[in-house]
Amino acid sequence: MREEEPSGRRSWLGGALAILLGVAIGGVGALLWRGELVPGASPDRAATEAIVRDYLLNHGEVIFEAVERHRSRQSARAIGGQRTALETPFHGAWAGAADGDVVLVQFFDYACGYCRQSNADVERLLREDPRLKVIWREYPVLGPDSDAAARMSLAAARQGRFREFHTQMFALGRPTAALLQQAAQQAGVQPEPDSAEMRSELTRNAQMGRTIEAQGTPTFVVGDEVLQGAVGYEALRDAIRRTRETRARS
């Protein structure tokens, strides 16, 4: 699995678009059967497809609106079934308000350049929003160095030094054995042997990532939304705002 680009939507767009077109054709066909769309028209599939095609060519924005709505419903269902697990941090791998009204969960990989880029956005949100809680989930998908860094990060979380290690590791760059040792020393983290708890955490994160259809790293979960890639400070801030507004209405 590769790190996700900010605009990475291709993997799900094709399938959702096929669903949309099928629903559109079926819906228009039903109207044709009842004679509501074109009085006297026969339910001819070719004619139906021509009508749908003509409409979509002239109103292409509805495709993306429908795809986003379909994707949002899927994400909400997936997140709902994983909410407790998603929002339960591994020891000290969290920051912000302990009882935050909104939780931002980030799946990340220390070898991911987009995660490094997004780290400043997350830190800014923590500085500006006293009601926000951030939880980091290890999602090492870019090779052995990623996995080694994730395990050291889990050790840091167990020792109450996660934030220090997290900052140092991203500041040093893509992890290598030497940089990993340097980050641990600077953060005051003692290496720990591989353990069942660490393996269980990485397995659980991988399963959660598949459930919410994380396409790579970074992947963010805010409320009922999944944001793929380095979406930037404003997109994350707006997702937090929408979550608060939705909960205030419920």
Residue with tokens 């009085």: 39
pLDDT (0 to 100) of residue 180:
97
Q: In this structure, what are the phi and psi dihedrals at residue 169, rounded to the nearest 5 degrees? A: -65, -45
Model confidence at 244: pLDDT above 60 = yes
Domains defined along the chain, listed by start? 10-76 (no CATH), 86-249 (3.40.30.10)
Model confidence at 20: pLDDT above 60 = no
Q: What is the pTM of this model?
A: 0.75
Measured CA to CA, the distance from residue 79 to residue 85 in angstroms comes to 10
With contact defined as beta carbons under 8 Å apart, do 20 and 67 qualify?
yes
Report residue 136 as tokens.
């980091």
Q: What is the dihedral of CA 181, 215, 69, 222, to 10 degrees?
A: -10
- What is the pLDDT confidence band of residue 146, given thresholds at 50, 70 and 90? very high
What would the pLDDT profile of 194-241 be if each residue is shown by its tens digit? Answer: 999 999 999 999 999 999 999 899 999 999 999 999 999 999 999 999
pLDDT (0 to 100) of residue 58:
74
- The one-letter code for the residue type at 190 is Q
